Amino acid sequence: MIDFNIINLTECDSTNAYLQNKISGNDTAEGLVISTLFQTKGRGQLSNVWESERSKNLLCSILLRPETLPVKQQFLISQAISVAIVEVLNTYSDGFKIKWPNDIYYKEFKIAGILIENNLSSGGIGSCIIGIGLNVNQTEFHSDAPNPISLKNILGHSVNILKLLDEILSAFNLVYTLVYSDVKMLRERYFDLLLFNGEERIYSDASGNFIGKIIDVEGDGHLLVLDSTNNIRRYAFKEISIIPNY
């Protein structure tokens, strides 16, 4: 099990960047967590900005040292943190899911994003920074993110952010053991929590819109979608999007 050590900051540029700086050139142990009330340069995927009002949300980065995990299995880390977050959120209310590959959704609204940055070393993954932005007590969003939602929007009351962080770290500690002990179980738990799995939906890829259903997520993270002609289509991140119906 990982021994987490949380450093709480009032403000920083980005918890991912702060942690990356802190570990460069030294061997800081696995389990360091940087948490902050505000980021001046919060980063999302694909160099998007991550919006978060001061003191309202959970913003943190977790340091892992998955030195024995083969690089080609790095998606397991993404699966483990997604499962842990959704399982904790589902103790607050039903209805949280993972939107492939690792966005966290409530119904068709995004409540959390995960930004994983790996530093590869000669032997494998020397360090892995898991950045989590989870909307907790913010109720209005101003960026152009299409569909944000927070726990407070859903529950109608505020939630203690540090307690939630503790719950997520405890859950992650358990789920993460599966990366090394029971990959099949981890992949099943991830797939069970996957938004729209097995449902016919309208998807869009480079060739246009089509009706399909998610049938599997491969070990390296590729998504498999069965289309209406019984053809299995295989996608990497950002090669497919779902047509929302909200």
Site residues (CB under 6 A) for ligand BTN? 14-16, 39, 42-45, 48, 50, 59-61, 103, 113-115, 131-133
Closest residue to ligand BTN, Cβ-based? Answer: 113
The minimum distance between CB 52 and ligand BTN, in angstroms, equals 7
Decide: 212 and 227 in contact? Cβ < 8 Å: yes
Name the nearest CA neighbour of 197 among 189, 209, 206. Answer: 189
In whole angstroms, the minimum distance from the beta carbon of 17 to ligand BTN comes to 6
- Which is closer to ligand BTN, CB of 193 or CB of 212? 193
Rounded least distance, CB 2 to ligand BTN, Å: 18
Which one, 143 or 228, has the nearer CB to ligand BTN? 143
Q: Closer to ligand BTN at the Cβ: 78 or 153?
A: 78
Closest approach, Cβ 105 to ligand BTN, in A, equals 11
Please give the single-letter amino acid code of residue 200.
Answer: E
DSSP assignment of the chain, as one string? ----EEEEES-BS-HHHHHHHHHTTS---TTEEEEES-BSS-B-GGG-B----TTTSEEEEEEE--TTS-GGGTHHHHHHHHHHHHHHHTTT-S-EEEETTTEEEETTEEEEEEEEEEEE-SSSEEEEEEEEEE--S-----SS-SSB--HHHHHSS---HHHHHHHHHHHHHHHHHHHHH-HHHHHHHHHHTBTTBT--EEEEETTEEEEEEEEEE-TTS-EEEEETTS-EEEE-TTSEEE----
Shorter beta-carbon distance to ligand BTN: residue 14 or 118: 14
CB 51, min distance to ligand BTN, A = 9
Q: Is the CB of 185 or the CB of 236 nearer to ligand BTN?
A: 236
Nearer to ligand BTN, 132 or 212 (CB): 132
The CB-of-113 to ligand BTN minimum distance in angstroms stands at 2
